[in-house]
Amino acid sequence: MEEEMVKVKAFLHDKFTIKDLGLTRFFLGIEIHRTDTMMHLSQQKYIWGIIKDVHMETTKPTTTPLPTDWSIYNSESPPMADPSVYRRLVGRLLYLKFTRPDVTFAVNHLSQFMQAPSEANWKTATHVVKYLRGTISHGLTYAAGGRPLSIQAYCDADWAKCPITRRSVSGYCIFIGSSLVSWKSKKQTTISKSSAEAEYRSAASTVCELKWISYILQDIKQPCHLPLPLGCDNKSTIHIIENPILHKCTKHIELDCHLIRDHYKSGFIKPYHVPSKSQLANLFTKSLPAPLMFSLLSKMNFGSLHSS
């Protein structure tokens, strides 16, 4: 391994002017702790900066990113006098999504109100900060694993989540071995007429990400073993993928149907059913109670370095 690293450094040095500073411990706000068998990524200093910025150093921590009485919209809440304060906080929270999958859904929700945030939106944003105060040392652990590389994906959708637009929320997470490498939470751009349709759109987005990851692995001479398992908790969605017939209820998602079916027929993906309580992508589509949330996060190798 050392000989290979020396060769790589020599190759890069021939092409560019480089300087070896040793093992990385801190990079762009991300703290890196490593041993011979694992690497832990966290953003403790960055989070503490956020806490100090909103003067919540002595605040009592919460157990979940969003409050239990959380609602997407509160029409009775007055607008903030200075929206820039909200925008600054949410902008800083966005950068946490690199190492904190636990707040991805919450930050995705908060970012929808950047133009005209209300006092209720600010209260929700500070609730996320309180949660971060209690989980400041948490981060992602990447353990050394053997070959061949195995890829596992999960996709989910919360149908008609938005009470105003009735758009659904898509979410997915992708693992290489036991390591979480990609995750996303996003409101869908179109309105889905059923939960199966919403889940299907989420699956299409996941397949595109899987294809991109497979190209990266090919570029570094690490081909993935096909088919790639795709976990979904909606049996109707799986039936649509495996059934080559376009029904009347799926005509308006024809492009997504052909996209996923082509990859299914070619042997690139293999959808299978996952019980809702075991669906890891639930973290990116809805607010979960603390016990279930931390149970799913533990399966992502997410937690405190000191408690692992």
Tell me the pLDDT tens digit for each residue of 135-180. 999 999 998 875 567 999 999 999 988 777 889 999 999 999 999 9
Mean pLDDT of 54-64: 95
Query: Which of 72-76, 202-206, 269-273 shows the lowest mean pLDDT across its residues?
Result: 72-76
- Check residue 11 and give its pLDDT: 87
Mean pLDDT of 281-287: 96
Query: Right CATH number for 149-274 from 3.20.20.10, 3.40.50.2000, 3.30.420.10, 2.40.30.10?
Result: 3.30.420.10
- Check residue 190 and give its pLDDT: 87
DSSP character string of 124-181: HHHHHHHHHHHTTTEEEEEE---SSP-EEEEEEEETT--TTT---EEEEEEEETTEEE
Q: Where do the CATH 3.30.420.10 domains begin and end in the chain?
A: 149-274
- Check residue 254 and give its pLDDT: 60
Higher pLDDT, residue 67 or 164: 67
- Check residue 246 and give its pLDDT: 59
Is the model's pLDDT at 252 over the cut of 80? Answer: no
**Mean pLDDT computed over every residue of the chain:** 90
Mean pLDDT of 72-84: 84
Overall pTM > 0.85? yes
- Check residue 148 and give its pLDDT: 63
Is the model's pLDDT at 291 over the cut of 80? Answer: yes
Distance CA 241, CA 260 (A): 7
Whether omega for the bond prior to residue 227 falls within 30 degrees of 0, making it cis, is yes
Is the model's pLDDT at 72 over the cut of 70? Answer: no
